[in-house]
Structure 1
Amino acid sequence: MSQFEEKTIQSETIFKGKVIHVQVDTVELPNGNTSTRELVKHAGAVAVMAITEANRMVLVRQYRKPLEKTILEIPAGKLEPGEEPDHCARREMEEETGYHAASLKQVRAFYTSPGFADEILYLYEGTGLTRGKANPDEDEFVERVELTLDEAFAAMDAGEICDAKTVAALYLWKNKVLEGR
Protein backbone atom coordinates (compact mmCIF):
# COMPACT_ATOMS: atom_id res chain seq x y z
CA MET A 1 0.00 0.00 0.00
CA SER A 2 1.46 3.39 -1.00
CA GLN A 3 1.73 6.19 1.52
CA PHE A 4 -1.44 7.80 0.07
CA GLU A 5 -3.55 4.76 -0.80
CA GLU A 6 -6.92 4.24 0.86
CA LYS A 7 -7.99 0.63 1.44
CA THR A 8 -11.68 -0.10 0.82
CA ILE A 9 -13.24 -1.78 3.85
CA GLN A 10 -16.85 -1.77 2.68
CA SER A 11 -18.68 -0.67 -0.48
CA GLU A 12 -22.41 -0.11 -0.92
CA THR A 13 -24.16 0.74 -4.20
CA ILE A 14 -26.89 3.27 -3.41
CA PHE A 15 -28.06 4.09 -6.97
CA LYS A 16 -27.85 2.38 -10.36
CA GLY A 17 -28.92 4.51 -13.30
CA LYS A 18 -28.54 4.58 -17.08
CA VAL A 19 -25.59 6.95 -17.00
CA ILE A 20 -24.08 6.67 -13.52
CA HIS A 21 -23.93 4.40 -10.50
CA VAL A 22 -23.33 5.88 -7.06
CA GLN A 23 -21.62 4.00 -4.27
CA VAL A 24 -20.51 4.82 -0.75
CA ASP A 25 -17.22 3.30 0.37
CA THR A 26 -15.81 3.08 3.85
CA VAL A 27 -12.03 3.35 3.59
CA GLU A 28 -9.03 2.94 5.83
CA LEU A 29 -6.79 6.00 5.52
CA PRO A 30 -2.97 5.80 5.45
CA ASN A 31 -2.89 6.86 9.13
CA GLY A 32 -5.20 3.97 10.14
CA ASN A 33 -8.35 6.06 10.62
CA THR A 34 -11.50 5.40 8.60
CA SER A 35 -13.53 7.73 6.42
CA THR A 36 -16.39 7.64 3.92
CA ARG A 37 -16.11 8.28 0.17
CA GLU A 38 -19.07 8.95 -2.15
CA LEU A 39 -18.18 7.72 -5.62
CA VAL A 40 -19.78 8.17 -9.01
CA LYS A 41 -19.03 5.28 -11.37
CA HIS A 42 -19.26 6.07 -15.09
CA ALA A 43 -18.55 4.01 -18.23
CA GLY A 44 -16.43 6.77 -19.75
CA ALA A 45 -16.99 9.17 -22.61
CA VAL A 46 -15.49 10.65 -25.73
CA ALA A 47 -15.34 14.13 -27.21
CA VAL A 48 -14.24 15.31 -30.64
CA MET A 49 -12.28 18.45 -31.46
CA ALA A 50 -13.21 18.77 -35.14
CA ILE A 51 -11.80 21.63 -37.24
CA THR A 52 -13.21 22.24 -40.71
CA GLU A 53 -11.20 23.06 -43.83
CA ALA A 54 -12.37 26.67 -43.29
CA ASN A 55 -10.56 26.58 -39.91
CA ARG A 56 -13.72 26.57 -37.80
CA MET A 57 -14.37 24.38 -34.76
CA VAL A 58 -17.51 22.26 -34.91
CA LEU A 59 -19.59 22.64 -31.74
CA VAL A 60 -23.10 21.88 -30.61
CA ARG A 61 -25.46 24.17 -28.75
CA GLN A 62 -27.34 22.16 -26.16
CA TYR A 63 -29.38 22.69 -23.00
CA ARG A 64 -27.71 21.13 -19.96
CA LYS A 65 -30.17 20.42 -17.14
CA PRO A 66 -27.59 20.30 -14.31
CA LEU A 67 -26.55 23.85 -15.26
CA GLU A 68 -30.10 24.99 -16.12
CA LYS A 69 -28.77 26.70 -19.24
CA THR A 70 -27.80 26.25 -22.87
CA ILE A 71 -24.09 26.02 -23.63
CA LEU A 72 -21.77 25.44 -26.58
CA GLU A 73 -19.57 22.35 -26.45
CA ILE A 74 -17.65 19.99 -28.66
CA PRO A 75 -19.55 16.86 -29.75
CA ALA A 76 -19.35 14.21 -27.04
CA GLY A 77 -21.07 11.21 -25.62
CA LYS A 78 -21.00 8.23 -23.29
CA LEU A 79 -19.38 4.94 -24.17
CA GLU A 80 -21.85 2.10 -24.57
CA PRO A 81 -21.00 -1.20 -22.80
CA GLY A 82 -18.11 -2.85 -24.67
CA GLU A 83 -17.79 0.03 -27.16
CA GLU A 84 -14.32 1.16 -28.20
CA PRO A 85 -13.63 4.90 -27.77
CA ASP A 86 -12.71 5.27 -31.49
CA HIS A 87 -16.10 3.92 -32.55
CA CYS A 88 -17.94 6.07 -30.01
CA ALA A 89 -16.12 9.23 -31.16
CA ARG A 90 -17.11 8.64 -34.78
CA ARG A 91 -20.71 7.77 -33.83
CA GLU A 92 -21.21 10.78 -31.57
CA MET A 93 -19.73 13.27 -34.03
CA GLU A 94 -21.88 11.99 -36.87
CA GLU A 95 -25.06 11.81 -34.75
CA GLU A 96 -24.69 15.28 -33.24
CA THR A 97 -23.17 17.26 -36.10
CA GLY A 98 -23.61 15.25 -39.29
CA TYR A 99 -19.88 15.48 -39.94
CA HIS A 100 -17.85 12.41 -40.91
CA ALA A 101 -14.11 12.53 -40.21
CA ALA A 102 -11.70 10.86 -42.63
CA SER A 103 -9.30 10.64 -39.69
CA LEU A 104 -9.93 10.48 -35.93
CA LYS A 105 -6.90 10.54 -33.66
CA GLN A 106 -6.96 10.36 -29.88
CA VAL A 107 -5.02 13.36 -28.56
CA ARG A 108 -5.68 13.14 -24.81
CA ALA A 109 -7.46 11.15 -22.14
CA PHE A 110 -8.29 12.63 -18.76
CA TYR A 111 -10.44 12.11 -15.70
CA THR A 112 -13.22 14.68 -15.55
CA SER A 113 -13.55 14.98 -11.78
CA PRO A 114 -11.32 12.51 -9.88
CA GLY A 115 -12.34 13.80 -6.46
CA PHE A 116 -15.61 11.87 -6.70
CA ALA A 117 -15.97 10.24 -10.15
CA ASP A 118 -14.06 7.66 -12.19
CA GLU A 119 -15.26 8.99 -15.57
CA ILE A 120 -12.48 9.06 -18.14
CA LEU A 121 -12.92 11.19 -21.24
CA TYR A 122 -11.08 10.39 -24.47
CA LEU A 123 -10.48 13.52 -26.53
CA TYR A 124 -10.12 13.05 -30.28
CA GLU A 125 -9.12 15.30 -33.13
CA GLY A 126 -11.21 14.87 -36.25
CA THR A 127 -9.80 15.91 -39.63
CA GLY A 128 -10.81 15.54 -43.26
CA LEU A 129 -14.40 16.44 -42.47
CA THR A 130 -17.29 15.74 -44.81
CA ARG A 131 -20.57 17.42 -43.94
CA GLY A 132 -23.75 15.36 -43.79
CA LYS A 133 -27.05 15.36 -41.92
CA ALA A 134 -27.10 15.15 -38.14
CA ASN A 135 -29.11 12.35 -36.54
CA PRO A 136 -29.26 13.04 -32.78
CA ASP A 137 -30.83 10.64 -30.29
CA GLU A 138 -34.58 11.11 -29.80
CA ASP A 139 -34.07 12.85 -26.43
CA GLU A 140 -31.21 15.02 -27.69
CA PHE A 141 -31.85 18.51 -29.05
CA VAL A 142 -28.73 20.09 -30.49
CA GLU A 143 -27.78 22.73 -33.02
CA ARG A 144 -24.48 22.53 -34.93
CA VAL A 145 -22.39 25.70 -34.63
CA GLU A 146 -19.05 26.44 -36.30
CA LEU A 147 -16.75 29.09 -34.83
CA THR A 148 -13.32 30.49 -35.62
CA LEU A 149 -10.68 30.34 -32.89
CA ASP A 150 -11.31 33.99 -31.97
CA GLU A 151 -15.09 33.48 -31.94
CA ALA A 152 -14.71 30.38 -29.77
CA PHE A 153 -12.55 32.23 -27.22
CA ALA A 154 -15.09 35.08 -27.21
CA ALA A 155 -17.84 32.52 -26.52
CA MET A 156 -15.75 31.15 -23.67
CA ASP A 157 -15.22 34.65 -22.27
CA ALA A 158 -18.99 35.22 -22.49
CA GLY A 159 -19.68 32.01 -20.55
CA GLU A 160 -21.30 30.16 -23.48
CA ILE A 161 -18.40 27.69 -23.51
CA CYS A 162 -17.91 26.63 -19.91
CA ASP A 163 -17.30 22.88 -19.78
CA ALA A 164 -13.84 21.42 -19.16
CA LYS A 165 -13.62 19.25 -22.29
CA THR A 166 -14.39 22.15 -24.63
CA VAL A 167 -12.08 24.55 -22.78
CA ALA A 168 -9.28 21.95 -23.02
CA ALA A 169 -10.00 21.47 -26.74
CA LEU A 170 -9.87 25.24 -27.36
CA TYR A 171 -6.44 25.51 -25.76
CA LEU A 172 -5.17 22.49 -27.69
CA TRP A 173 -6.45 24.07 -30.92
CA LYS A 174 -4.84 27.40 -30.01
CA ASN A 175 -1.50 25.67 -29.31
CA LYS A 176 -1.68 23.87 -32.66
CA VAL A 177 -2.32 27.19 -34.42
CA LEU A 178 0.54 28.90 -32.57
CA GLU A 179 2.88 26.01 -33.43
CA GLY A 180 1.78 26.11 -37.07
CA ARG A 181 0.42 22.54 -37.12
Structure 2
Amino acid sequence: MDKFEEKTIKTEAIYDGKVIQVQVDDVQLPNGKTSKRELVKHSGAVAVIPITKDNKIIFVKQYRKPLEKTLVEIPAGKLEKGEAPETTAVRELEEETGYTTGELSLVANFYSSPGFADELLYIYITDQLEKLDTPPAGDEDEFVELVELTLDEAKQYVEEGLIQDAKTNYAVLYLHALGRM
Protein backbone atom coordinates (compact mmCIF):
# COMPACT_ATOMS: atom_id res chain seq x y z
CA MET A 1 0.00 0.00 0.00
CA ASP A 2 1.24 3.47 -0.91
CA LYS A 3 1.54 5.63 2.22
CA PHE A 4 0.81 8.74 0.12
CA GLU A 5 -2.38 7.36 -1.45
CA GLU A 6 -5.44 9.58 -1.45
CA LYS A 7 -8.58 7.43 -1.24
CA THR A 8 -11.49 8.61 -3.38
CA ILE A 9 -14.64 9.16 -1.35
CA LYS A 10 -16.83 10.64 -4.10
CA THR A 11 -16.49 11.56 -7.78
CA GLU A 12 -18.57 14.21 -9.52
CA ALA A 13 -18.44 14.33 -13.33
CA ILE A 14 -18.32 17.97 -14.47
CA TYR A 15 -17.75 17.76 -18.23
CA ASP A 16 -17.60 15.01 -20.87
CA GLY A 17 -16.06 16.37 -24.06
CA LYS A 18 -14.48 15.14 -27.29
CA VAL A 19 -10.91 15.38 -25.94
CA ILE A 20 -11.17 15.47 -22.15
CA GLN A 21 -13.43 14.67 -19.24
CA VAL A 22 -13.35 16.77 -16.08
CA GLN A 23 -14.27 15.52 -12.62
CA VAL A 24 -14.00 16.66 -9.02
CA ASP A 25 -13.05 14.02 -6.48
CA ASP A 26 -13.47 14.23 -2.72
CA VAL A 27 -10.48 12.39 -1.26
CA GLN A 28 -9.29 11.21 2.11
CA LEU A 29 -5.69 12.28 2.67
CA PRO A 30 -3.04 10.08 4.33
CA ASN A 31 -3.47 12.06 7.58
CA GLY A 32 -7.21 11.29 7.63
CA LYS A 33 -8.38 14.76 6.56
CA THR A 34 -10.36 15.34 3.37
CA SER A 35 -9.76 17.53 0.34
CA LYS A 36 -10.99 18.07 -3.23
CA ARG A 37 -9.10 17.26 -6.43
CA GLU A 38 -10.01 18.67 -9.85
CA LEU A 39 -9.02 16.07 -12.44
CA VAL A 40 -8.73 16.06 -16.21
CA LYS A 41 -9.10 12.61 -17.77
CA HIS A 42 -7.48 12.11 -21.21
CA SER A 43 -7.05 9.02 -23.39
CA GLY A 44 -3.34 9.71 -23.91
CA ALA A 45 -1.31 11.05 -26.79
CA VAL A 46 1.58 10.22 -29.06
CA ALA A 47 4.30 12.38 -30.58
CA VAL A 48 6.92 11.62 -33.23
CA ILE A 49 10.40 13.00 -33.77
CA PRO A 50 10.68 12.66 -37.57
CA ILE A 51 14.19 13.06 -39.00
CA THR A 52 14.71 13.46 -42.73
CA LYS A 53 17.47 11.89 -44.82
CA ASP A 54 19.28 15.26 -44.79
CA ASN A 55 19.23 15.24 -40.96
CA LYS A 56 16.49 17.80 -40.39
CA ILE A 57 13.67 17.47 -37.88
CA ILE A 58 10.16 17.96 -39.22
CA PHE A 59 8.02 20.18 -37.00
CA VAL A 60 4.52 21.53 -37.44
CA LYS A 61 3.55 25.13 -36.86
CA GLN A 62 0.08 25.27 -35.31
CA TYR A 63 -2.13 27.79 -33.53
CA ARG A 64 -2.92 26.80 -29.94
CA LYS A 65 -6.12 28.40 -28.69
CA PRO A 66 -5.43 27.97 -24.93
CA LEU A 67 -2.25 30.03 -25.41
CA GLU A 68 -3.67 32.39 -28.07
CA LYS A 69 -0.54 31.93 -30.18
CA THR A 70 1.21 29.74 -32.73
CA LEU A 71 3.79 27.19 -31.60
CA VAL A 72 6.29 25.01 -33.42
CA GLU A 73 5.92 21.40 -32.27
CA ILE A 74 6.79 17.85 -33.18
CA PRO A 75 3.83 16.06 -34.83
CA ALA A 76 1.45 14.65 -32.22
CA GLY A 77 -2.10 13.56 -31.61
CA LYS A 78 -4.59 11.91 -29.32
CA LEU A 79 -4.80 8.16 -28.88
CA GLU A 80 -8.14 6.85 -30.09
CA LYS A 81 -9.94 4.31 -27.90
CA GLY A 82 -8.36 0.87 -28.36
CA GLU A 83 -5.62 2.19 -30.68
CA ALA A 84 -2.01 1.13 -30.11
CA PRO A 85 0.40 4.05 -29.60
CA GLU A 86 2.50 2.98 -32.63
CA THR A 87 -0.62 3.11 -34.83
CA THR A 88 -1.44 6.60 -33.57
CA ALA A 89 2.15 7.70 -34.20
CA VAL A 90 2.08 6.62 -37.85
CA ARG A 91 -1.42 8.09 -38.38
CA GLU A 92 -0.45 11.47 -36.94
CA LEU A 93 2.84 11.52 -38.85
CA GLU A 94 0.97 10.87 -42.11
CA GLU A 95 -1.85 13.36 -41.44
CA GLU A 96 0.33 16.20 -40.19
CA THR A 97 3.45 15.85 -42.36
CA GLY A 98 2.59 13.78 -45.44
CA TYR A 99 5.32 11.29 -44.52
CA THR A 100 5.03 7.72 -43.30
CA THR A 101 7.43 5.24 -41.74
CA GLY A 102 7.73 1.53 -41.16
CA GLU A 103 10.21 1.95 -38.35
CA LEU A 104 9.52 3.64 -35.02
CA SER A 105 11.52 3.49 -31.80
CA LEU A 106 9.98 4.41 -28.47
CA VAL A 107 12.03 7.16 -26.82
CA ALA A 108 10.00 7.61 -23.63
CA ASN A 109 6.57 7.96 -22.16
CA PHE A 110 5.60 10.37 -19.42
CA TYR A 111 2.67 12.11 -17.79
CA SER A 112 2.31 15.60 -19.23
CA SER A 113 0.78 17.32 -16.15
CA PRO A 114 0.32 14.81 -13.31
CA GLY A 115 -0.83 17.45 -10.84
CA PHE A 116 -4.26 17.57 -12.49
CA ALA A 117 -4.34 15.32 -15.58
CA ASP A 118 -3.82 11.62 -16.32
CA GLU A 119 -2.61 12.09 -19.93
CA LEU A 120 0.23 9.68 -20.74
CA LEU A 121 2.32 10.84 -23.69
CA TYR A 122 4.43 8.46 -25.80
CA ILE A 123 7.32 9.86 -27.85
CA TYR A 124 8.72 7.94 -30.81
CA ILE A 125 11.58 8.68 -33.18
CA THR A 126 12.13 7.69 -36.79
CA ASP A 127 14.72 8.50 -39.44
CA GLN A 128 13.12 6.17 -41.99
CA LEU A 129 10.67 8.55 -43.64
CA GLU A 130 8.89 8.03 -46.93
CA LYS A 131 6.94 10.83 -48.64
CA LEU A 132 3.36 9.79 -49.38
CA ASP A 133 1.99 10.37 -52.88
CA THR A 134 -1.43 11.13 -51.43
CA PRO A 135 -1.33 12.04 -47.74
CA PRO A 136 -4.51 11.31 -45.77
CA ALA A 137 -6.70 14.25 -44.89
CA GLY A 138 -6.02 15.57 -41.42
CA ASP A 139 -8.57 16.75 -38.91
CA GLU A 140 -10.92 19.27 -40.54
CA ASP A 141 -10.37 21.77 -37.72
CA GLU A 142 -6.58 21.47 -37.68
CA PHE A 143 -4.35 23.76 -39.73
CA VAL A 144 -0.61 23.11 -39.78
CA GLU A 145 2.45 24.22 -41.71
CA LEU A 146 5.63 22.15 -41.92
CA VAL A 147 8.93 23.51 -40.66
CA GLU A 148 12.17 21.57 -41.21
CA LEU A 149 15.03 22.52 -38.89
CA THR A 150 18.49 21.30 -38.06
CA LEU A 151 19.08 20.53 -34.40
CA ASP A 152 21.00 23.81 -33.99
CA GLU A 153 18.10 25.73 -35.54
CA ALA A 154 15.65 23.92 -33.23
CA LYS A 155 17.74 24.87 -30.19
CA GLN A 156 17.65 28.48 -31.43
CA TYR A 157 13.83 28.23 -31.67
CA VAL A 158 13.79 27.09 -28.04
CA GLU A 159 15.93 30.06 -26.99
CA GLU A 160 13.69 32.46 -28.93
CA GLY A 161 10.51 31.03 -27.36
CA LEU A 162 9.14 29.65 -30.64
CA ILE A 163 9.28 26.12 -29.20
CA GLN A 164 7.65 26.18 -25.78
CA ASP A 165 5.68 22.98 -25.27
CA ALA A 166 7.07 20.19 -23.08
CA LYS A 167 7.07 17.36 -25.62
CA THR A 168 8.97 19.36 -28.22
CA ASN A 169 11.45 20.75 -25.70
CA TYR A 170 11.98 17.16 -24.55
CA ALA A 171 12.58 16.06 -28.16
CA VAL A 172 15.16 18.80 -28.77
CA LEU A 173 16.92 18.04 -25.48
CA TYR A 174 16.89 14.31 -26.27
CA LEU A 175 18.47 14.84 -29.70
CA HIS A 176 21.03 17.22 -28.21
CA ALA A 177 21.94 14.67 -25.51
CA LEU A 178 22.32 11.95 -28.14
CA GLY A 179 24.75 14.12 -30.09
CA ARG A 180 23.58 12.37 -33.24
CA MET A 181 22.71 15.38 -35.34
Distance in 1, matches of 2:118 and 2:59, equals 25
Aligned to 2:107: 107
Q: Which residue of 1 aligns with 2:151?
A: 149
Per-residue deviation at 1:127?
Answer: 2.1
- Rounded Cα–Cα distance in structure 2 between residues aligned with 1:136 and 1:10: 39
Tell me, yes or no, if the aligned pair for 1:102 and 1:127 is still in contact at 8 Å: no
Higher mean alpha-carbon deviation, 39-48 vs 99-108, is at 99-108
- Show the counterpart of 1:137: 139
Task: Give the equivalent residue in structure 2 for 1:169.
Answer: 171
Rounded Cα–Cα distance in structure 2 between residues aligned with 1:2 and 1:162: 34
The Cα offsets for residues 71-103 of structure 1, whole Å up to 9 and x where unpaired, read as 100000001111110000000000000111231
What is the rounded CA distance, in whole Å, between the counterparts of 2:128 and 2:117 in structure 1? Answer: 34
For 2:27, the aligned partner's letter is V
1:1-181 equivalences under 5 Å are: 1-132=1-132, 134=135, 135-177=137-179, 180=180
Following the alignment from structure 2 to structure 1, what is the Cα–Cα distance between the partners of residues 98 and 33?
A: 53
- Structure 2 CA distance, aligned partners of 1:129 and 1:137? 21
Structure 2 unmatched ranges of 5 or more:
none
Once the two structures are superposed, residues 125-179 of structure 1 have per-residue CA deviations (whole angstroms, 9 ceiling, x without a partner) of: 12211123543211110001100011101111111100000000011111222xx
State how many pairs are aligned: 179
Are the equivalent residues in 2 in contact too, given 1:102–1:128 (CA < 8 A)?
yes
Preserved contact between residue 136 and residue 142 of structure 1 (Cα < 8 Å): no
Moved over 4 A (4+): none
TM-score after normalising by structure 1: 0.95
- Aligned-pair Cα RMSD in Å: 1.2
Q: What SS class does the counterpart of residue 10 from structure 1 fall into?
A: strand
Consecutive unaligned residues of structure 1, counting only runs of 5 or more, are none
Give the Cα separation in 2 of the matches to 1:2 and 1:128.
43
Per-residue CA shift, 1:27-79, capped at 9, x if unaligned? 00000000000000000000001111111111000000001000100000001
1:105 Cα deviation after fit: 1.3
% identical equivalent positions: 59
User: What amino acid is aligned across from residue 63 of structure 2 in structure 1?
Assistant: Y
- TM-score computed with the length of structure 2 as normaliser: 0.95
- Give the Cα–Cα distance (whole angstroms) in 1 for the partners of residues 94 and 18 of structure 2: 22
**Rounded Cα–Cα distance in structure 2 between residues aligned with 1:92 and 1:66:** 21
Q: In 2, Cα distance between the equivalents of 1:110 and 1:86?
A: 15
